[in-house]
Chains A and B, each alone.
Chain A
C-alpha cells in the first residue's frame, strides 16, 4: 500500500494504482474528468488528455515536482506523492485548453443529438464556460456511413477516444470496426463496410462519451430528460440481464447498461436486451435509477429514500482494480 495526497486528501491505495483511480476512490470533486479512460476496458486512456493533474511532489524519496502536468489515467502513484487536481488553477486552465481542442471539430448539434443531457463533452464544455471558439477553419466532415441497423454513427461528433474500438476488441469475438486513416482524417469505420452485429456490439453506444454512436432504435424518439430511467432485470442467457430501462409512460424507449458514478457501465449487456426487449412486460422493474441531482435528467425524477441513503454506487468503486476481467462476457458465461 502507498500513501498519496490528492487535493489535500490523503488516501492509501494498492501499489500500481493510477492517480485517476486513486482520486476515484476518494470521489467527489477531486476526480479528474476522463473522456477516453474506461476502467472496465483494458488499454484505454491516454488519448483525450482531459484528466491532466499536477504532481507537486513525485514521491517521498524524491519530492521534486514533475516538470509538466501528467495524465492521471496512465500515471501510477508513488508513496508520498502529492497531486493537485481541481484545486490547481494551472490544471483547470490546461483542461480548459484540452476541452477547447476537443470542441474544435465537434459540430455542436446538441439540439439534434440524442446524447444531449447525458453527454460528457457537454458537461465539460459547460463546466469550463466554453461557448465561444477561436478556431476559424472549416470543421472536418465525413461521408455518412451506415454501420448497421442498430447503431448510428455520427463521425463528425467523434472525439477519437478509441473506447468503442476497445469494446470491439475485448467484448466481441471478432472486431469488425476500428479507426481508419491517420491524423486529421482519422475516423471510426467498419472494416470493408461490414455490419456490426456481434452479441455485445451495442455496448459501444454506452461507452461512447459523446453522441458519435447512438441507438438507432431510440433515434429521435424522445429527449433523455423526458424519459424515466428505471433499474430493471430479466433472465438473460447471454448477459447478466441487469439494465437501466428508459421509460416514457408505459413505453420502454431505450435500454442501456447501468452506469456508476463515473458514467461507466457496471455490467455490459447483450444486444438482445438492448435492442429487442422494448416492452415493459419483458422486464422486472426494480426501482428508479439513481440520477445525480445536477443532471438535467433529474428533473421530475423521484427516487426511493432508502436508495439515496444507501449511496449504492460507493460499493462499485473498487471493482475494476480487484478484477478487471469480471465484466467481460467470456467469464460471465463460464460462471453461468
Chain B
C-alpha cells in the first residue's frame, strides 16, 4: 500500500543499543529543538491590541450601503434572502412616501431588514445576488454577546452610518465594477440620464 506521508516511520521492536538506552542524546535533541523556537519570529499576535490585516476577500459583518446622496440603496427586492443558504435574512417592504426621497433611493424600501448573525455563514451570496449594490460584507467582525436575540441585527446595526461610511471598495469584483459602469447595461444609462 502506498503511504500517505513520506515522514512516517515503521515501528519496530528491535533491541535498543546502549546509547539509545541512556535516552540523554534524545532528550538533548528535544531540548535543542524547543530552545530554537525561542529565537524564532512569533506567530501569535496580541489581539485585540494588535490586529492582523484582513485579506481583501474577507467576509465579515454586513453593511447596507447608501448611494452618493445618502439615500438607502436597498429596495427590499428579497433576492438576498432567496439566495441565502442559511435563511438568515428577512425583510419587510414599505412604500416610500412623498418627501422621503432623500432617505430612500427608490419607490420601495425595506422598513425592516434583519440578518440573524447566528444563522449567517458569511458566504457572501447575498452580496452577489443584490441587484442594487446595497449589501456588502465588510472586514468587521460580528461582536460577541451573551444573549441570542442580540444577534438578530436590524437596520440600526446594518445601515451604513451617514457620517462615517464604511469602505467596501475592496469588495467590488471586476464583474461588479463592469456591471456598474458598462455603458451597454440599461441601469447605467438610466443613472447617467437622471443625473443629467
Contacts and interface: CB of A to CB of B under 8 A. Distances in A.
Interface of A: 103, 107-112, 116, 131-136, 138-139, 219-223, 225-226, 296, 299
Given A136-B189, A220-B108, A223-B78, 8 more contacts: A110-B77, A111-B77, A112-B106, A132-B184, A132-B186, A133-B184, A134-B184, A220-B76
Q: Interface range on chain B: under 10, 10 to 19, 20 to 34, or 35 or more?
A: 20 to 34
A132 B185 contact: yes
A48 B182 CA distance: 29
Given A225-B82, A299-B82, A108 B77 contact: no
A225 B78 contact: yes
B7 to A, nearest CB: 49
* Chain B residues touching A, majority SS: mixed
Contacts of B75: 111-112
Interface in B164-195: 182, 184-187, 189-190, 193
12 contacts: A109-B106, A110-B131, A112-B75, A132-B186, A133-B185, A135-B189, A138-B193, A220-B95, A222-B78, A222-B93, A223-B82, A296-B82
Nearest to B193: A138
A3 to B, nearest CB: 45
* Chain A residues touching B, majority SS: loop
Contacts of A221: 93
Residue of B106, B132, B184, B186 with highest tally of chain A CB at under 10 A: B186
Interface in B32-53: none
A133 B189 contact: yes
Contacts of A107: 190
B176 to A, nearest CB: 14
Given A108-B187, A133-B189, A219 B78 contact: no
B93 A116 contact: no
A104 to B, nearest CB: 10
Interface in B127-152: 131-132
Contacts of A135: 189
B79 interface: yes
Contacts of B107: 112
A226 B84 CA distance: 13
Contact of A111 (B95, B132, B186, B189): B132
